[in-house]
């Protein structure tokens, strides 16, 4: 398996296939019996057996630097295939973004892990996600934080994501339809805000709705062809900003982002 470390195409890889890699590729690389408390070969909640789970986690995430054990555990636990349309089931754990309808995508697993790790969640946080999409990232956040509010501008995606999230038993996720570039003032402040679509700039409302005491915003910013993951941390009126991985996301569309 080959990894691209500089540019992680999270969304717009859809037009170029990666050689038709399917979930079958994930088997038989490393087999450990201790993953997720399952016996070797036994299928877990993800539908993969222990060896398959360890393989994709090790190859796609650990080998590329994801270290937070809580993030790795969450990625092991959440069944990605539940969020992937029937027609793409064989690719559910492939190293790429996948279409979910309405011209949108479920992000590449590695990118989900990078962004989640960048949030630095400890467990007690209230998190706002902008761009629910399939609901997969929201489920990962629900494993790691106290409360997740996720905003999606397309009602049909929000409805389907809500259905899946509820069916998996998550009770700490609220899916809201709206323009996430405005944040959600009525429920601010948020300890963490994650934007999962590419923004032309950092929307002002999001930095203002960060909690003043160590609030953190993770957002891909840049032109449609490529963005950079920015991590902004708030301390009172001071905002510190660092730039991380290059990535490519579908556009953030709204009042304080790209036009329709």
For this structure, is 242 an active site residue?
A: no
Nearest distance from residue 81's CB to ligand SAM, in Å?
Answer: 13
User: Given the rule CB under 6 A, which of 34-42, 61-69, 84-92, 103-111 is the region that contacts ligand SAM?
Assistant: 103-111
Could you tell me which stretch among 14-22, 39-47, 63-71, 152-160 binds ligand SAM (CB under 6 A)? Answer: 152-160
Q: Between 53 and 194, whose beta carbon lies closer to ligand SAM?
A: 194
Q: Which residue of the set 10, 55, 107, 134 is catalytic?
A: 107
| CA neighbours closer than 13 Å in the CB half-sphere of residue 186 | 4
State how far the Cα of 4 lies from the Cα of 122, in Å rounded to an integer: 29
Among 56, 110, 136, 190, binds ligand SAM (CB under 6 A): 136
- Contact flag: residue 131 with ligand SAM (CB under 6 A): yes
Side-chain-facing half-sphere of 165: CA atoms under 13 Å: 28
The CB-of-181 to ligand SAM minimum distance in angstroms stands at 5
Report if residue 174 touches ligand SAM, rule: CB under 6 A.
Answer: no
* Residue 190 is a binding residue for ligand SAM (CB under 6 A): no
Name the residue nearer to ligand SAM (CB basis): 96 or 154. Answer: 154
Helix axes 69-77, 109-119, angle to 10 degrees: 140
Asked whether position 254 contacts ligand SAM by CB under 6 A, the answer is yes
Q: Does 183 bind ligand SAM (CB under 6 A)?
A: no
- 93 phi-psi bin (left φ>0, alpha ψ -120 to 50, beta other): alpha
SS3 of 86-143: HHHHHHCCCCCCEEEECCEEECCHHHHHHHHHHHCCCCCCEEEEECCCCCHHHHHHHH
DSSP letters of 195-234?
E-SBBSS--HHHHHTB-TEEEEEEEEES-TT-EEEEEEEE
Q: Which residues are catalytic?
A: 107
Contacts to ligand SAM by CB under 6 A: 11, 104-107, 130-131, 133-134, 136-137, 151-154, 157, 179-181, 196-197, 249-250, 252-254, 257
């Amino acid at each position: 398996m080959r990894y691209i470390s500089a540019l992680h195409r999270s969304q717009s890889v859809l037009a170029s296939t990666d050689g038709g890699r399917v979930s079958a590729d994930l088997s038989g690389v490393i087999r450990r019996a201790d993953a997720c408390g399952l016996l070797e070969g036994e299928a877990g909640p993800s539908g993969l057996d222990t060896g398959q789970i360890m393989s994709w986690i090790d190859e796609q995430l650990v080998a590329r630097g994801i270290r937070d054990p809580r993030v790795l555990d969450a990625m092991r636990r959440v069944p990605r295939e539940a969020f992937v349309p029937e027609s793409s089931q064989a690719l559910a754990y492939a190293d790429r973004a996948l279409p979910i309808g309405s011209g949108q995508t479920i992000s590449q697993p590695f990118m989900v892990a990078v962004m989640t790790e960048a949030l630095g969640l400890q467990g007690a946080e209230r998190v706002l996600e902008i761009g629910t999409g399939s609901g997969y990232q929201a489920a990962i956040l629900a494993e790691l934080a106290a409360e997740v509010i996720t905003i999606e501008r397309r009602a049909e995606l929000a409805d389907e994501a809500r259905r899946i999230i509820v069916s998996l038993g998550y009770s700490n996720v609220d899916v809201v339809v709206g323009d996430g570039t405005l944040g959600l003032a009525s429920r601010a402040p948020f300890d963490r805000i994650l934007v999962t679509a590419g923004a032309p700039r950092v929307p002002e409302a999001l930095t203002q709705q960060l909690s003043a005491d160590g609030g953190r915003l993770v957002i891909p910013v840049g032109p449609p062809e490529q963005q950079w993951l920015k991590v902004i941390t708030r301390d009172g009126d001071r905002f510190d900003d660092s730039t991380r991985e290059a990535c490519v996301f579908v556009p953030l569309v709204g009042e304080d982002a790209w036009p329709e």
